[in-house]
Amino acid sequence: MAIEQHRLVNAQYIHTSHQDQRPEPQEISLLVIHNISLPPNQFGGDHINALFTGRLDPDIHPYFKEVYQLRVSAHCLIKRQGSSIQFVPFDKRAWHAGVSSYQGRDRCNDYSIGVELEGADHIPYSDAQYLALASLSKEIMRHYPSIGLGQIVGHNDIAPRRKSDPGVAFDWARFRQMLA
């Protein structure tokens, strides 16, 4: 895996308008791991892509009526089989963190990279996802040296009262060992 001009080489790229410029000057210094499944606890299909690009059809599933108007995105999504999709170049601000704070610094979207795992809090992630996430994280840390092991967190760490992802099923010890 490689990054050139803030984009993953050899990964699918799907442009979204759910992004904007990072405030100046901001140093990319945080990696936030999330999970998402649409509908909840179901995997496969293009529903996540549709949500992140503002094209989610509210008539496909009852849950979609609750979320189809959200303007959210992430820099990358890692599917269950380990493939990666990039929606936002890393130098742009994706809209993944919401109201958030890390180590006393608010507005985590301003200085973070958001990676979504296709998953749910209580469903184990696939081996392929761990491999892809470790590879991507190593490349992000190489390309953005302000992100070290201590700057890789879950959504629950930056929005603890509001979010629980990547959830209890995410094996932080395994992931950190893969990064070592």
CA 123 to chain centre: 17
* Two tokens, residue 136: 């991507």
Among 4, 24, 116, 139, the active-site one is: 116
Q: What is the DSSP code (8-state) at residue 136?
A: H
How far, in Å, CA of 108 to CA of 100, rounded? 6
Q: At what angle do helices 172-179 and 127-143 cross, to 10 degrees?
A: 50
4 is catalytic: no
CB distance 114 to 94 below 8 Å: yes
Peptide bond just before 89 cis, omega within 30 deg: no
* Two tokens, residue 92: 């742009």
Torsion of CA 72, 76, 79, 80, to 10 degrees: -100
Cβ contacts of 100 within 8 Å, gap of 6 or more? 106, 107, 108, 109, 158, 159
Give catalytic residues, as residue numbers: 116
